[in-house]
Structure 1
Amino acid sequence: MEITQKSSFLICYSNVVCGTSWDGCQLTTERVTGYSLPGDITLGGLFSVHMEIEYPEITFTEQPKYLQCSRFHFRYYRFLLAMVYSVMEINNSLDLLPNVTLGFNLYDSCYNEVRSLMGTNWILSGKQAFVPNFDCHKSVMSSAIVGDTPSKASIPIARILGLYRYPQVSYASAQPLLSDKAQFPSFLRTVYNGNYEVFAIARLVDYFNWTWVGIIYSDSDLGRSGAQLLIREIENNGGCIAFQETLPISSSMEAVFRIIDVIKNSKATVIIVYCTIENLIALMEEASYHNITNKVWIGSTSWSISSDFPKKEILITLNGSLGITPQNGKIPGLKEFLYSIHPSIYPDDIFMKTFWENAFHCVWPGQDLYNNTSSPVLNKDIAWCTGKERLDTIDPNIYDVYNFKFTYKVHNAVFAIAHALHQMNTCVPGKGPFKDGSCANIYNHQPWQLLHYIKKINFNNTAGERIFFDDNGDVPLYVDILNWQLFPNGSNKYVYVGSYDAGSPKGNRLNIQSNTILWNGGNSQVPLSVCSDPCPRGHRKATIQGQKICCFDCVPCSEGEILNPYDDTHCLKCPEDQWPDSRKEKCLSKPIQFLSYQEMLGSSLACVSILFCLVTLSVFSLFIIKHQTPIVKANNRELSYLLLISLVFGFLCSLAFIGRPNFITCMVRQVIFAIIFSVCLSVILAKTITVILIFSATNPNSKLTKLVGLRIPVYIVPVCTMIQIFLCIVWLVKALPFVEFNIAAVIGTIVIECNEGSTVLFACVLGYMGLLATISLLVAFLARKLPDTFNETKFITFSMLVFACVWVTFIPAYLSTKGKQMVAVEIFAILSSSAGILVCIFFPKCYIILFHPEMNSKQYITGRNQRNLGF
């Protein structure tokens, strides 16, 4: 029974043919009116001239009233005017469709699916009382439909038109689902796929380094699919989603309150609103009520350039926001056309008087001031429309004749259909695209034939832009980025601040003019939107367990490491010859360190060395001059000469330790030092033994008297020196010293030093010098009580004590220092020990020679010696 009733209803509904009903069944249809212009070929157009629908109360006791439209929309009406202008431009063209006149049937869909379907049926049936499934055009049918504005209206229209492959070209419906050619085979659009703008938004977020953002999206297919794709893109760029909230399509203050609480409690400064305008107003009103002005709102195409917000407080809340919108196009002559329209010129335009009333806040004489929903209700000081009002006095923010975005898309849609018709009209039989090369008749063709041509169009529009469709009926993504700026006088303006072109090479797609952006409060500083503050330089990000990657702690990079420039969660160790800069951002070559003459320490030691060398040469010169005096001849003056010459070379050998080490200096400096000091110590030992032998010769009972004639001191120096030379040769043969770049000695510095080759052999060389010094000290100490006149043993004892103290202190100091300080310690030890020998042994004699020459005589020495011997 139920099936029979439904079938009867459908049969009855479908048999209302051109106003004649089938006997026994009659279906009442709503009368539809629009703006029509006759032509050889007619185009249909759906435009949301009004924004809202007033649903009549249904009582079931009387016939339902028609749906009433309210809230006239200036911008959407401009879309309709753009189609009128485009058709006029084509009809006046000599190159496009010559001798063919285009007409149109334009319908106000009031941003409502039901009204859109009614308008579609009206355009297709050709009757005011539209007849579903029937074409009642007497001469020519509509070739294609331009529209509609919202995706929610275009989808059901596209499903119906797709059954007949009837071309539909939308200028504003961005729903990604409409790209599915299996479901919508005859749908095309001059606006980009809504999913494409997700890439522009994600890139914009990445450009400003906003890593912690919130997302609010409509509870619709477009909102959900777009939000999922947007989340994926942001996370792929390293960002995180602070929160994602769904805004119901139907008004729900409970959801609005919940979302406002989330926004207020979130650290996210940037909020992406992927919603349509109709379900966003309540949220924005509540946000303005809570004075949420410290957020940056990023708007999608569906609302970013809307001026439909009823309260100024909302504009204050949105001040500084960014919006994605189709590119601003150029339509030559449209501005002049928009300023030239008048009800008297276009009497068939049923919307123009309503536009006039809303634009100039007046009422045409004869209108019902209080019941006509198309006119504003004026409670006092009612002004009558005179027709003399000037359109160029209207605020451009209300009636914009400069910026054409969706208006430009309408223009492209009409011209796309016109070019397809033109190609159909110029088809050469036998070379056509259809079976056996046939062509279609432009005045009597099938819808699918025109659809074929529209899919293949490729032309440059009046602005020079290339227009074409891809396989899904979409156009490439090219969007403008606008900044919503509110001025102190209360006016607002959308300022162009950049663009995103998906056709450009990757990396050059986003173009931002940052200096033109004004954020909320007039601040030019880009606001931060992060979960955790950026890490200081040289610190890596350490994720917090249980948190998203954008929430982290900052951990300093270890010593010798820099922050990985490609992964800020890791640090990289610098190569051995490099060291991080102060910011730990890049590795720099380590500074090279060695004891140089250019620095204070090196130059000071060199000066001291040369000074003592000159002093030693002065003493040597004095001894040469006074070589015949007893004090010089005492204790073997040849040994004194040799000791002084050795001290000169000892002071000079310290210079080999200063300067950049090289192969030669590393090989010879320790050897020279060891040999020279071995000579000095051998001479001192020989002098000490000489003193002992001399005094032993004066004592007949001494057992050492027999050794005086053997001239033992003469052999001590060469023998002791040869032993040291032999040790040095073994050292050089077995483990030759070499230049070494020591990276570990001083942190962050490369120390150029000499590696001694073999620590054992180096210790043997130093140990042998220590042995000579010890023997000299012991022998001098045992002979310290000999008579003063010929006795140098006290001075030698002091000099050996100084020598021993210096080198015993040198060992721990040498081992505890690194780099050039270690070299300086050794130089200091060489100079100190040499100076100790010079001062202790020779300065007393120089004092006598220079200041007490009477003591430097044979009589004085002989008398003193006799007294010392008890004579």
Structure 2
Amino acid sequence: MKLLTAFSPLVVLILFQEQISCYYLTKYASSGYYQDADFVIGGLFSLRVTDGDTFISRSGVEDTSHIAEYVFADLIKYYQHILAMVFAIEKINKDPNILFNKSLGFFLFNVNFIEMKAAEGSMALLSGESPPIPNYSCRPEKTDKLVAVIGGISTSISIQISRVLSLYNVPQISYAPFDQILGTRVQLQSPYQFSMHTAALYQGIVQLLLYFTWIWVGLVVPDDMRGELYLRDITKEMISHGICFAFAEKVTEYSSMDTVNWKHFMERLTLTPVIITVGDTHSLLRIVYFVIFYNLSGNVWITTSDWYITTLPFEQNLIYTHFGGGLSFSFHMDEILGFKDFLRSVQPRKYPHDIFIRHVWSSLFGCPHYYQHRLWDLSQCEPNGSLSTRPLHAWDMNTSPYSYKVYAAVYAIAQALHEELSLRVEGDSSNKCLLQAPLPWKDPEIGFFWFPHLPGSSPFAIPLHIQIMPRESCCHRSAVTCEITAPSIPTKGPTWEKHQ
């Protein structure tokens, strides 16, 4: 009797804990942007840059007195990636020819460029709450609908996402620059990527150098495997055309004086008028800091669209002072049909549940935002403000390559779901875990996903291989695993634009 008396409170406590384990999480405002639907696509994006490193003073010693803008900054133009996903899902939900009477929703998180946040965001998609609880679904109405995840923007972020999602067989499409490292299936599920024909890109850069007789140039690449491949391919192309290198520098994302002699590096930049930089915005961020810190100007920067020259995490008027001679190469892409009109219509009152738009609006329109009565107050902002009125250095109405890939990834997932919904369930109508469709439908080109509304005068196809992978607890957390062979975005050869 005494033993029963002693254990009764413990049993009650355990039962009570089972009932309220997710109750406390509801007290925290979720950091995600959620829209409910029959199927939900997760999105892990990077909208801010944080830098915990110390900066190097002019004397070469470490300076711990950080400048606030360097420690934390919003990459406003990256918000277009989220809008591309929202726009694609809205178009699909309005299209009666895809997904039948099913709808698509989304669950979006900002993971910055921090690997730990990428892992946390992935777990939040699986548990339905932020902060997440590993291996526990607090919001089954959210997690049971998750079919795929789009993210991240870099190789390191994509790897962290894959390490979590691969445990649950959730498909992942990365919109990062193509990296062969992500194609290895040794320890983790390989995220699907969009491949690019970089040979044509390098040929375009070489033709530009030869046209202006720039035969003495500097080369800067990130210090990783991707940078090694860049260096190997582009040097081979340049040497074959008689172009010489003043230097070839590998830089890390967060370098110090022990790894790179930045002062000597800056001196070489002043002696080399033409600099070729191949990398993305984040991997080249430290170079941007030091170019401004050492007040360098007059260089011609030749790069690719993976590096947003006009997206700098500090005062935008510094762009033209230090990078006014920037030339950016990209693959030719027409605008996504209707995307500009969608961008013009975006306003905070149109998307009141968008937790990211308040910071974007406040930055673009120079108006404060307040949190009152559990609502964000943007009354100080222009009531009819439009993104189309913002200058180019602050916002770009043209579709970025990253946004294009996010848009295409949503359509690839939707088409895979449509193919799955088209399959008739034979022999086991009681299995509610299997997707069923009211009517059968098959594209004439079985295994290919056609984009009738994507840029260009004619549609193009993405090879698809759809594989159903049922789990033992399928009804508890249903998902469709889709083998998607990543497409090559249709091109008309590389094009370049001058940032002025």
| TM-score normalized with structure 1 length | 0.43
Displacement of 1:122: 0.7
Displacement of 1:90: 0.8
Displacement of 1:189: 2.5
1:128 equivalent among 127, 130, 138: 130
Distance 1:390 1:157, change over 3 A: closer
Displacement of 1:290: 6.1
SS at match of 1:154: helix
Amino acid in structure 2 at the alignment position of 1:150:
S
Amino acid in structure 2 at the alignment position of 1:41:
F
Distance 1:386 1:322, change over 3 A: closer
Displacement of 1:54: 7.5
SS at match of 1:249: coil
Distance 1:366 1:169, change over 3 A: closer
Percent identical pairs in the alignment equals 26
Within a 5 Å distance, the mapping from 1:473-512 to structure 2 comes to 473-476=485-488, 478=491, 480-486=494-500
Using the alignment, how far apart are the partners of 1:92 and 1:46 within structure 2? 24
Distance 1:306 1:279, change over 3 A: same
- The CA deviation string for residues 313-349 of structure 1, in whole angstroms up to 9 with x for no partner, is 5533433332233543422222222222233332211
Cα pair 2:152 2:158 within 8 Å, conserved: yes
SS at match of 1:409: helix
Name 1:200's counterpart in structure 2: 201
User: Quick check: 1:179 aligned with 2:179?
Assistant: no
Displacement of 1:35: 0.7
Amino acid in structure 1 at the alignment position of 2:129:
K
| TM-score normalized with structure 2 length | 0.73
SS at match of 1:407: helix
Using the alignment, how far apart are the partners of 1:242 and 1:212 within structure 2? 6
Cα pair 2:87 2:339 within 8 Å, conserved: yes
Name 2:341's counterpart in structure 1: 336
Using the alignment, how far apart are the partners of 1:233 and 1:354 within structure 2? 43
Displacement of 1:462: 0.8
Name 1:224's counterpart in structure 2: 228
Cα pair 2:74 2:313 within 8 Å, conserved: no
Name 1:684's counterpart in structure 2: none
Distance 1:231 1:141, change over 3 A: same
Name 1:423's counterpart in structure 2: 419
Q: Report 1 or 2 for greater relative contact order, CA contacts < 8 Å, sequence distance ≥ 6.
A: 2
User: Quick check: 1:263 aligned with 2:269?
Assistant: yes
1:346 equivalent among 346, 351, 357: 351
Name 1:50's counterpart in structure 2: 48
Name 2:326's counterpart in structure 1: 321
Displacement of 1:17: 8.4
Using the alignment, how far apart are the partners of 2:381 and 2:308 within structure 1? 33
User: Quick check: 1:75 aligned with 2:77?
Assistant: yes
Distance 1:173 1:403, change over 3 A: closer
Name 1:8's counterpart in structure 2: none
Distance 1:32 1:289, change over 3 A: closer
User: Quick check: 1:250 aligned with 2:254?
Assistant: yes
Distance 1:402 1:265, change over 3 A: closer
- The CA deviation string for residues 584-629 of structure 1, in whole angstroms up to 9 with x for no partner, is xxxxxxxxxxxxxxxxxxxxxxxxxxxxxxxxxxxxxxxxxxxxxx
Distance 1:207 1:232, change over 3 A: same
Instruction: Indicate the structure (1 or 2) with the bigger Cα radius of gyration.
Output: 1
Moved more, 86-95 or 223-232: 223-232
SS at match of 1:128: coil
SS at match of 2:261: helix
Cα pair 2:448 2:463 within 8 Å, conserved: yes
Cα pair 1:180 1:472 within 8 Å, conserved: no
Moved over 6 A (4+): 16-19
SS at match of 1:80: helix
2:402 equivalent among 402, 406, 422: 406
Distance 1:53 1:37, change over 3 A: farther
Using the alignment, how far apart are the partners of 1:313 and 1:409 within structure 2? 29
Gaps of 5+ in 1: 1-15, 22-26, 56-68, 369-373, 377-382, 432-437, 445-454, 487-871
Using the alignment, how far apart are the partners of 1:336 and 1:105 within structure 2? 24
Distance 1:282 1:406, change over 3 A: closer
Distance 1:475 1:401, change over 3 A: same
Name 1:33's counterpart in structure 2: 31
Distance 1:119 1:327, change over 3 A: farther
Distance 1:388 1:34, change over 3 A: same
Amino acid in structure 2 at the alignment position of 1:422:
H
Cα pair 2:309 2:323 within 8 Å, conserved: no
Distance 1:114 1:323, change over 3 A: same
Amino acid in structure 1 at the alignment position of 2:113:
Y
How many residues are paired up?
422
1:235 equivalent among 234, 239, 242: 239
Using the alignment, how far apart are the partners of 2:193 and 2:18 within structure 1? 32
Using the alignment, how far apart are the partners of 2:364 and 2:341 within structure 1? 17
Using the alignment, how far apart are the partners of 2:448 and 2:167 within structure 1? 22
Cα pair 2:122 2:165 within 8 Å, conserved: no
Using the alignment, how far apart are the partners of 1:53 and 1:264 within structure 2? 26
Displacement of 1:76: 1.4
Name 2:152's counterpart in structure 1: 148
Distance 1:346 1:400, change over 3 A: same
Using the alignment, how far apart are the partners of 1:221 and 1:47 within structure 2? 23
Displacement of 1:97: 0.9
Amino acid in structure 2 at the alignment position of 1:345:
K
Distance 1:465 1:242, change over 3 A: farther
Using the alignment, how far apart are the partners of 2:74 and 2:106 within structure 1? 22
Distance 1:18 1:308, change over 3 A: farther
Using the alignment, how far apart are the partners of 1:283 and 1:235 within structure 2? 25
1:462 equivalent among 447, 450, 453: 453
SS at match of 1:188: coil
- The CA deviation string for residues 697-718 of structure 1, in whole angstroms up to 9 with x for no partner, is xxxxxxxxxxxxxxxxxxxxxx
Amino acid in structure 1 at the alignment position of 2:41:
L
Cα pair 1:301 1:323 within 8 Å, conserved: yes
- The CA deviation string for residues 248-307 of structure 1, in whole angstroms up to 9 with x for no partner, is 3214366321212223345xx432212433453453454467675554322133314442
- The CA deviation string for residues 432-490 of structure 1, in whole angstroms up to 9 with x for no partner, is xxxxxx9982389xxxxxxxxxx94431241344142599944326464323332xxxx
Distance 1:151 1:329, change over 3 A: farther
Cα pair 1:181 1:472 within 8 Å, conserved: no
Distance 1:80 1:99, change over 3 A: same
Displacement of 1:146: 1.1
- The CA deviation string for residues 747-792 of structure 1, in whole angstroms up to 9 with x for no partner, is xxxxxxxxxxxxxxxxxxxxxxxxxxxxxxxxxxxxxxxxxxxxxx
Displacement of 1:163: 4.0
Distance 1:224 1:308, change over 3 A: same
Using the alignment, how far apart are the partners of 2:291 and 2:348 within structure 1? 41
Using the alignment, how far apart are the partners of 2:433 and 2:331 within structure 1? 35
SS at match of 1:277: coil
Using the alignment, how far apart are the partners of 1:132 and 1:112 within structure 2? 19
- The CA deviation string for residues 370-403 of structure 1, in whole angstroms up to 9 with x for no partner, is xxxx999xxxxxx923634344432244232234
Amino acid in structure 2 at the alignment position of 1:460:
F
User: Quick check: 1:300 aligned with 2:304?
Assistant: yes
User: Quick check: 1:272 aligned with 2:276?
Assistant: yes
Using the alignment, how far apart are the partners of 1:460 and 1:386 within structure 2? 37
Cα pair 1:424 1:439 within 8 Å, conserved: no
Displacement of 1:50: 2.7
Name 2:360's counterpart in structure 1: 355
Name 2:66's counterpart in structure 1: none
Gaps of 5+ in 2: 1-16, 54-70, 438-445, 465-482
Using the alignment, how far apart are the partners of 1:321 and 1:128 within structure 2? 40
